[in-house]
Amino acid sequence: MRSASIAFALGAIAAALPAAGAEEPLWEAGIGMAALSFPDYRGSDRSQAYLLPAPYFVYRGEFLKADRHGIRGILFNTDRIDLNLSVGASLPVESDEMPARAGMPDLDPSIELGPSLDITLWRRADRTARLDLRLPVRGAVTVSSDPRYIGVQFFPHLNVDVHDPFGMSGWNLGLLAGPVFTDARYNRHYYSVEPRFVTPDRPAYDARGGFAGTQFLAALSRRFPKFWVGGFARYDTLRGATFEESPLVTSKRYAAAGIGISWIFGQSSRKVQVDALGERPQ
């Protein structure tokens, strides 16, 4: 599950964008390899490196999309406002491998699901650049033999997409930044310490809901005729987070990065009209 989650995280960012006004296949599929580095969770000082299979899949449907923004079900769509189905995931954590969590239960992987209201604030006339305000709200459930609801995350952020950035023909740049908010139940799952898990170095702690730090991400990719290359870098800060004093927060900075290459082995014969940012016209 950890490997699948990380591969999905890269695949969610990794999708090619076409030339302006192009006809592109309804779907494309490929496989490759990705080198990634991820901390165990936001606030952990323990990172791990992975070399993993990297799936590549793009679907340019009217009501369902799989692209550089992840897997999205389009619930409502106008020229400026989209209501999408937003999906996310988190990694499992083996507590005995982390001194701060030693003796505590492992953290199961989770899947997050909920709506996202996406508002286009500005778009270049040739549709090669766009600024969006995105407002995803997702509920999280553990992926285990006994699934549990573990709370809600709200991540309002600004997102910039640019085709051919800085004169780099064929490349696509994505930037996003915004605050993260989580409810008390979500934060207790990751950051609370119950009395039975208290040690001399780990006092009891009851996490509250509220501000959960700020996230920044940059992604760069390019689609060649037979393969795709791309990478991303993510930085989080937990300064000011309601749970930053938790003994389970061992770092108030979070960095992750990855680079991958995928060979594209299949595509549909059906073509659809898309703009430079990969969107189908209204």
Residue 124 maps to which CATH number? 2.40.230
pTM score: 0.82
279 occurs within a structural domain? no
Share of the chain above pLDDT 90, in %: 55
Please report the sign of the dihedral spanned by the C-alpha atoms of residue 149, residue 150, residue 152, residue 157. Answer: negative
Question: In the prediction, which pLDDT does 17 show?
Answer: 42
- Is 251 part of a structural domain of the chain? yes
In 10 A of CB 79, how many CB atoms?
10
Structural domain contains residue 282 = no
Predicted confidence (pLDDT) per residue in 24-46, tens digit:
888 888 899 999 898 889 999 99
- Helices H, strands E: what count in the chain? 2, 15
Whole-angstrom distance, CA of residue 216 vs CA of residue 236 = 6
Answer whether residue 34 is part of any domain: yes
* pLDDT score of 68: 53
The residue-averaged pLDDT of 233-246 equals: 96
Lowest-confidence region among 8-17, 66-75, 163-172, 266-275: 8-17
Average the pLDDT over 166-186 and give the result: 94
Length of the chain: 282
Is residue 257 situated within a structural domain? yes
Q: Is 281 a member of any domain?
A: no
Residue 150 lies in a domain: yes
Could you list the residue range(s) of the whole structural domain that residue 133 is in?
2-274
Helix (H) or strand (E) holding 5, with range, is helix 2-13
Query: Is the pLDDT reported for residue 59 higher than 60?
Result: yes
Structural domains of the chain, count: 1
What's the CA gap between 116 and 110, in Å, rounded?
Answer: 19
Whether residue 170 is contained in a domain is answered as yes
